[in-house]
Amino acid sequence: MKSHKVTMLGTGLIGYFYTRSLHEQRRPDRVHTVYSRNAQKAKQFAEHWGIPKHTSDMAAAINDPETDTVVIGLPNDLHLEAIRLAAAAGKAILCTKPLGRNAAEAKQMLDIVEKAGVFHGYLEDLAYTPKTLEALSKVQRGVVGRVLWVRSREAHPGPHSDWFWNFEQSGGGAMVDLGCHCVEIARNYIGKDVKPVEVMCWAATQVKPIEAEDNAIALVKYADGAIAQFEVSWCFRGGMDLRDEVSGTEGVIRLDHFMRTGFEIFTAVGEGDYVAEKAESTKGWLFPTADEVHSLGYNHMFTDMFDAMDHGKPPMETFYDGYVVNAILDACYKSAKSKRWEPVELVDWRGRTDITEPSVYVDYDDKHYLIKEEKMPDGKLKVILKEKASGKILQQVS
């Protein structure tokens, strides 16, 4: 196993989580150089995590000859510039979500890394939570049958830094910030080869005095007829609500990643001043997470990224995925304005183009299609059928 030396850009919340997931456990890959625009913050961060070098010069951090990988944990409007510099330095690039503020920006980033021929990974941690990975493997093994409907929800009381609330810097509100997770979670379950076709979206600014949306709901329709539904909020009270549901022709999987994980505490006196990300109280009933970075997927994510790098293959999440996510979100913004279904515009589609919605007709016998079977309370079996010739619906009881 190779060990990688990382240039970490940013010492905010995500820089902290990323560094913690790399340094807290016995991992071969370590942050070697950290950049913060504030020299004092860079120094403190480096001391805290035992990082050999720190600087307030972003280009110098990226060009450090001792590092091979650049991890971008900067505000959304700074991703592009960081990617340009890192690609020019020939480094592997791992960029946080959302990749771009919109699809055009994300496409520029994709083109830059592909032209430079450097490794690129999209740090979509919620596609890598232990529960998501396990559910994904079950879905891929057919445990829920054909995927019909994926619901994904991320809601919390709003982000922790000024720049998120500034449209120019963030590129949008709860949708671009949280919807990016939901969209990619659903793409993984439905299948990344299946084209997202069109979207319908409601978005509103219900509470916060900002230009962007603080609440939104969207439906994303895929070429195989599957629907992805996402709900996002920057004004949900009570902590961080991260839930997913995958329904298929043969079953359903429900996941709660953060608030109702089976770990609940009541304390009248409180304990410390931090419970979990976006938790709103430190007393009363609390919902901590046993291992926050692990349950949010960061460890599995970095393992996949560095393993892929070492084996010369793409990781599960690449810049291409980040671009598709941005394209879906662009369509959501359009639909929220037009109040109509809007097409997902993908100038670069690399998945399948031959997928259509499957037939709903399942043969029961030569003369009938099956609608459903049900065991009744009296022990009898009811079979509901459609006669092929007449279209008549009938039931057989045995």
- Per CB under 6 A, residues contacting ligand NAD are 10-15, 36-38, 73-76, 78, 96-97, 123, 125, 161, 163
Residue 385 Cβ vs ligand NAD, minimum distance, rounded to whole Å: 49
User: Which residue in the shown chain puts its C-beta closest to ligand NAD?
Assistant: 12
- CB-wise, 18 or 287, nearer to ligand NAD? 18
In terms of Cα–Cα distance, which of 225, 198, 224, 203 is closest to 214? 203
Residue 278 Cβ vs ligand NAD, minimum distance, rounded to whole Å: 10
Cα–Cα dist 225/104, whole Å:
27
Residue 299 Cβ vs ligand NAD, minimum distance, rounded to whole Å: 13
Percentages helix, strand, coil for the chain, rounded to the nearest 5?
A: 35, 25, 40
Residue positions counted in the chain: 398
- CB-wise, 169 or 282, nearer to ligand NAD? 169
- CB-wise, 39 or 265, nearer to ligand NAD? 39
In 159-318 the beta strands, taken as DSSP E runs, fall at: 196-204, 215-222, 227-233, 241-248, 251-256, 265-267, 284-286
Give residues with Cβ within 8 angstroms of 218, minimum separation 6.
175, 179, 199, 200, 201, 202, 203, 229, 230, 332, 335
Residue 171 Cβ vs ligand NAD, minimum distance, rounded to whole Å: 10
Q: List, in sequence order, every residue forming a beta bridge with 132; answer none if it has no partner.
A: none
Instruction: Compute φ and ψ for 9, nearest 5 degrees.
Output: -100, 110
Cα–Cα dist 334/80, whole Å:
23
- CB-wise, 38 or 206, nearer to ligand NAD? 38
- CB-wise, 10 or 315, nearer to ligand NAD? 10
Residue 241 Cβ vs ligand NAD, minimum distance, rounded to whole Å: 14
Residue 83 Cβ vs ligand NAD, minimum distance, rounded to whole Å: 12
Cα–Cα dist 145/125, whole Å:
26
- CB-wise, 21 or 76, nearer to ligand NAD? 76
Residue type present at position 283 = K
